Structure 1
Amino acid sequence: MNVSSMIKLTISMAIFGSIGFFTTQTGLPAVELVFVRCICATIFLSGLWFITGGHKTEVWKKGEILKTLICGVFIVLNWVFLFKAFEVMSISIAISIYNLAPIFVLMLGSVFLAEKMGIRSICATVICFFGSILIIGVDSFTSVSQFMNSGFVWALLSAICYALTMFTSKTIQGMSSYALTFVQTIVGIVLLLPLCDFAAFDSLTNMNWLYIIGTGFIHTGFVYYLFFDSIRDLPTVIVSVLVFVDPVVAILLDAILLSFRPSLLQVLGIVLIFGSILYTVFYPEQSAKALKSGNSSIASRRN
């Protein structure tokens, strides 16, 4: 067991767990924040890529570049939807729904890879969605307007895009992590540039910019670097455990710094979601093997 890699992965997940708090302090809407984040990540990680000399040995294949471009679209949409969810709902609730992504990976596998979902996987999926209803509140589902304004749709779309990112990236084997991220963040810049409202930057304070730069260089650049430097040296089961440091930190910060106080039903919903996901990860059926094998190879897309 590589203790150094475990520490790096734990630190990266703990840092990413604070992204919800940072996002709420930036003063920027989701699209503009993700745009800046892509710029910062491109500068930081491409710089490391060149410093380490990885760009000299990179092997570019048309098929993998195309898959990476598609993957880049998914990961950018994943970020935008997640940040939009943060704008209208509690960080804890948004993160809980966001972490439904592994369940969606199982669903995608059953549809596109003919991997049949067993009884346990189906039950875990049903329990997760039931948990989602509890944490959002049954009242939010009584009308279309309440449902749309609850933030549930944004959080759910972020989870789906995250799952599509994982599912797509499983087939990308030849490109280095730096090359993957470079292409994906460039996709984000190109995709979001026409959609950005640059007037949103006019009224930002120095403190806002501090949080924005932190979100770009720390939560994307530095966290990716730690991930890249650790993920390949750890077994899948350790990765599966340590990625849950992210939601734990997010929920704790939400409670401590933003005074989030969940109701009893919301606590039950969070427990149901994460309990079902953990059960699915550590006690997989044959149809869930793709999920476990994919965790180690695609975890770098998480951020």
Structure 2
Amino acid sequence: MQESKLKNYLLLHLIVFIWGFTAILGALITIDAIPLVWYRMLLAVIFIAIYFLWKKKSFRVNKKGLLKFLFTGIVIALHWVFFFKAIKVSNVSVALVTMSTGAFFASLIEPIFFRRKINTLEIFLGLLVIGGLYIIFNFESQYKLGIIYALIASFLSALFAVLNGLYIKKYTADVISFYQLFFGVAFITVYLLITNGFSIAFFQIETSDWLYLLILSSICTAYAFIASVEVMKYLSPYTVMLTINLEPIYAIILALIIFGDKEQMSNTFYLGAFIVLFVVLLNGILKNRKTLKDKIQQKLKKKKVI
């Protein structure tokens, strides 16, 4: 049992490391954000479809579910477009630190869909995150466009994460992922057809880009998603949350090693980044403590009833 837990904990760290590597691949791939996302989603759909066929899983979903996945598929596609645009116009460090604002956006969006009161502590922590971003925005003015793109990506990320929190109660994670990726690539395909985005040059991809795209779509998208769902069966949400918060740190360290001077930032950036990442981590710890406390109280109430 202990060995299984350790194995899954190490696997979780590998998954988070892979997610962090996504940003690195986004910087290494030379094609623009929109074709990059189109190729990523298309290849990921193919890989997950192969997984479905291999496991003999059903693709069947009701019409209501398809409409939900159509909307969130578009949201995910736009999220990735803005995320990779942020990397292209700034760098990995700026994009990932700004993306950490997702927890703040989720604290504003979640009460609407889950019909609960807005948590004042979450708002306060969110304001601290904005303070950290202001430091970065004020002193790293050359990255303003990248920060704006990353903020849009972060909001969209929080939106589909909250919606998936509702969908997961009715649909399996792999079904949700397959259809969202499918509708996402369909949406970008329609956009490219309308704007005459498809051309001979669109399909002329360098060998290195093909290699990175295959890694991005298979390991960083299809595999990481399926593996992350499996890991959650064996580890507590608290452990998963704390480990996921290491993603920006892994990615920034990787970026410094791979890109060197391009990723070297000023001291004020690292101060702002520290504030953002610290608040995100603190928010996760406080949330999980409350969840654990509520579970203990519920168990005690049940024992009293018995």
Whether these two folds match at TM > 0.5 is yes
Among 173, 181, 186, which residue is 1:185 paired with? 181
Q: Distance in 2 between matches of 1:81 and 1:3?
A: 36
2:54 corresponds to 1:51:
yes
> Residue 143 of structure 1 aligns with which residue?
none
Partner secondary structure for residue 232 of structure 2: helix
1:156 aligns with 2:151: yes
List aligned pairs for 1:127-206, cutoff 5 A: 127-138=128-139, 140=141, 150-172=145-167, 173-196=169-192, 197-199=197-199, 200-201=201-202, 203-206=204-207
Deviations 1:246-276 (A, max 9, x none): 2111101111111211211111111110111
Distance 1:60 1:205, change over 3 A: closer
- Confirm or deny: 8 A CA contact 1:67 1:169 kept in the other structure: no
Decide whether aligned partners of structure 1 residues 202 and 190 sit closer, same or farther in structure 2, where only a CA change above 3 A counts. closer
TM-score normalised to structure 2 length? 0.84
Residue 64 of structure 1 pairs with residue 65 of structure 2? yes
Aligned to 1:300: none
Are the structure 2 counterparts of residues 136 and 255 from structure 1 closer, same or farther at C-alpha, using a change threshold of 3 Å?
farther
Unaligned runs of 5+ in 1: 141-145, 294-303
Secondary structure in structure 1 of the residue aligned to 2:166 = coil
Partner of 1:12: 15
Residue in structure 2 matching 1:36, options 39, 49, 55 = 39
Distance 1:170 1:139 in 2: 35
3-state SS of paired residue (2:264): coil
Shift in CA distance, 139/246, structure 1 to aligned 2, threshold 3 Å? closer
For 1:129 and 1:183, the matched residues in 2 are separated by 34
Change (3 A) 1:54 1:163: same
Q: 1:281 and 2:276 equivalent?
A: no
Partner AA of 1:66 in structure 2: L
TM-fit CA distance, 1:228: 2.6
Conservation of the 8 A alpha-carbon contact between 2:44 and 2:181: yes
Letter aligned with residue 105 of structure 1: A
Tell me how far apart the structure 2 counterparts of residues 201 and 74 of structure 1 sit (CA, whole Å): 23
Pair 1:61–1:5, CA change in 2 (3 A): farther
SS at structure 1 position matched to 2:170: coil
Between 263-272 and 238-247, the greater mean CA deviation after superposition: 238-247
Structure 1 residues 269, 220: CA separation in 2 closer, same or farther (over 3 Å shift)? Answer: same
Aligned length: 281
- Structure 1 pair 278–3 and aligned structure 2 pair: CA distance change class (3 A): same
Deviates more, 1:71-80 or 1:179-188: 71-80
Q: CA separation in 1, counterparts of 2:48 and 2:232? A: 16
Corresponding residue of 1:225: 226
Query: Is the contact made by 2:99 and 2:150 (CA closer than 8 Å) also made in structure 1?
Result: yes
Do the aligned partners of 1:46 and 1:178 also contact (CA within 8 Å) in 2? Answer: no
Equivalence for 2:301 = none
Contact 2:94 2:146 in 1 (8 A): no
In 2: Cα distance, 1:7 partner to 1:284 partner: 23
Q: Which has the larger radius of gyration?
A: 2
Larger relative contact order (CA 8 Å, sep ≥ 6): 1
In 1, the alpha carbon distance for the partners of 2:29 and 2:256 equals: 19
| Cα RMSD for the two superposed structures | 2.5
Q: Which residue of 1 aligns with 2:236?
A: 235
Identity of paired residues, percent?
Answer: 21
Cα drift, residue 138 of structure 1: 4.1
Partner Cα separation in structure 2 for residue 152 and residue 124 of structure 1: 19
